[in-house]
Amino acid sequence: MGKKFERCKFAHLHLDGKHYCTRNGFDEGDAFPVEVNTCEKCQDYRSRFMEFPLEINGIHSDKITYDNGIYAKIGQLVSVRPCGDEYGGKTYVGFYLGELPVTITHYLNHETKMLMSGVISNPAMYVPEIGKVIFGMSSWWHTINSEYEFSNITDGDIANTWYVKLAKLLSTNKDERHGE
């Protein structure tokens, strides 16, 4: 396969097994089938990756914010059950720290040639008993507003969340489609 074809941000493999070009958009009728040799000659090639050297007219960094209010107030008590096996399914009491950055992201705006930098954030909780910051993406957690709201987060609680139910349903349907 050609280098442009493999790296072009507009070239996509469809579920029907054909490759499509989306340079005109993703709506029905905008994308069209494309062959490797046609793609290699295309003048609208754009890499889906940053390729060097780059011409950059400037750098813009988003301001890092520490959100206070989307999920809880900073300092609020939370009940946290980390996902790692090393925690043995135990639920801990912690303090909500806010939405904290977990990684830095960059992309190049091809029109302005500005390098854009930002962060991807996630809810973070400090758990004094283990002396660690646990992120929402690696735990089950909820806020505690009174002593009556503290409870262990059980396997049943996890199984009853909408996205776990959906994952199980999709997995079951996949197994049925593949005769497993």
Render pLDDT for 4-34 as a digit per residue (tens, 0 to 9): 878 888 888 888 888 888 988 877 788 888 8
Same domain, 85 and 29: no
DSSP state at residue 64: P
Give how far Cα 46 sits from Cα of 8, 24, 113, 114, 175, Å: 5, 13, 13, 16, 37
93 and 79 Cβ atoms separated by less than 8 Å: yes
CA dihedral of residues 77, 82, 88, 94 (deg, nearest 10): -20
Q: What is the pTM of this model?
A: 0.65
Residue 107: inside a domain: yes
Burial class (CB in 10 A: 0-12, 13-18, 19+), 25: exposed
Query: Can you give the residue range of the structural domain that contains 129?
Result: 58-154
Residue 7: inside a domain: yes
Same domain, 107 and 143: yes
Same domain, 19 and 82: no
Residue 50: inside a domain: no
Cβ partners under 8 Å of residue 2, min gap 6: 36, 37, 39, 40
Q: How many domains does the chain divide into? A: 2
Same domain, 75 and 22: no
Residue 161: inside a domain: no
**First-to-last CA distance in the chain?**
33
Same domain, 76 and 144: yes
What pLDDT, in 10s, does the model give residues 73-127?
Answer: 899 999 999 999 999 999 999 999 999 999 999 988 888 999 999 999 999 999 9
DSSP state at residue 35: -
Residue 134: inside a domain: yes
